[in-house]
Amino acid sequence: MEKFKSNITTKEIADLRYLISKGRTVDWGSYSYNDAGISFKSLSFILDYWENKFSWKEEEKKLNKFEQYIFNEGNCKTHFLHIKSHKKNAIPLLLIHGWPGSVFEFFDVIPLLTNPEANNFLNYQHFDLIIPSLPNVGFSFDKNQHPLGLDEISNHFIKLMDSLGYDKYFIQGGDLGSFIASIMSVKVPTKIKGIHLNMIPLPRGLDKKPNNPKEKKYYKELKNFLHYEAGYQYLQGTKPFTLAHALNSSPVSLCAYISEKFFSWTDNDGDLFNYINIDIMLANISLYWFSGCIGASFWPYFVRHRSPDWPISLDRPIEVPTGYSEFPKEIFSPPKSLASQYYNNIIFWKTHQSGGHFAAMENPKILVSDINSFVKKVQ
């Protein structure tokens, strides 16, 4: 275990700005169509902000205020934040990001979880936070390290928590983080006190007959997602390195590819940055650029695409206490009647009126409130 601080050089930052300035975008004019991808207008605004207003050093300074470490185990290294509450006997909570996320997406929830009183969150519990970068992402990425699939990442995170001396802990996850939390709870159920999810990763089959209107609605939404929105999964699951060459060669390409997901998967009215912080989004994209990790970040999709089995199975249901925060613009939200077939101990389920896929960025206070309510039910 070694301490870590980010220190991206001024030359790397200058090179990024230069490449942004020389990037080539396409104005489709009257052929512009929002559902066809990020618009010329939206991308131009983001690129201008990234080149001329965004400060990596400011975001890096915020990151470096937290204790950071590198955990080396076998041929795998993992960068993680370890942020302890000032309260004794605080509750250990492993926060796991997804794709295309990073540790930056948790910036707004960290103070609410570790020092709630200072943020006017009275009668809230205190948490010790462990926030890893997925082994294929950001400062965990090493081009000489073979990327990992979800099962391998889960094993690695179990070893990380063991190395820190946590024999009982909670997990919170969305996107790939929800897969990893679920897999970990099957592997070491006696260590996991409970998992809180903001996405429930059920199998994507459409061959089942719905038993009620909510299930019918879900299968329709899932069919639409697979038809209109899931192209990225097939690209990343079949030819990840080909895609990576294109995205690693141009920050404009990388920004278009990642920021489009923020537009598509958040609950916004067309003005994305009324709902998420543009600096946090660009810190996230910058991390992918500086580390060159985008190809490795696709690897869980590549492994899953070639596996005959879905990571979450009826044969190995999740038995640990489970909580779920349902946001209307999540990419898909199965009803409780289906979720409970795979998660046998759902003790907390709350449906919200607004919000989307990036819960920690869009609705940090609501997410923290739900985590607290769930943990209190378990404790």
Domain boundaries, the chain: 2-6+39-378
User: Is the separation of the CB atoms in 267 and 329 below 8 Å?
Assistant: yes
Helix, strand counts (H, E) of the chain? 16, 9
CATH of domain 2-6+39-378: 3.40.50.1820
Question: What sign for the dihedral angle of Cα 261, 267, 271, 272?
Answer: negative
pLDDT at 259: 96
Chain center to CA of 91? 21
Residue 306 to residue 308: CA distance in whole angstroms: 7
pLDDT at 34: 63
pLDDT at 30: 65
**3-class secondary structure, 298:** coil
Eight-class DSSP state of 31? G
Pairing of strands 68-73, 2-3: antiparallel
Name residue, tokens 């390409």.
Answer: 253
Burial (0-12, 13-18, 19+ Cβ within 10 Å), 70: middle
Pull the structure tokens for residue 209: 């007959």
Residue 3 to residue 67: CA distance in whole angstroms: 8
Tell me the pTM: 0.95
pLDDT (tens, 9 = 90+) of the chain, 379 residues, equals 899 999 999 999 999 999 999 999 988 776 666 678 898 999 999 999 999 999 999 999 999 999 999 999 988 999 999 999 999 999 999 999 999 999 999 999 999 999 998 888 778 999 999 999 999 999 999 998 899 999 999 999 999 999 999 999 999 999 999 999 999 999 999 999 999 999 999 998 877 888 999 999 999 999 999 999 999 999 999 999 999 999 999 999 999 999 999 999 999 988 899 999 999 999 999 999 999 999 999 999 999 999 988 898 899 999 999 999 999 999 989 999 999 999 999 999 999 999 999 999 999 999 999 999 999 999 8
Planar angle of CA 339, 129, 346, nearest 5 degrees: 15
pLDDT at 168: 97
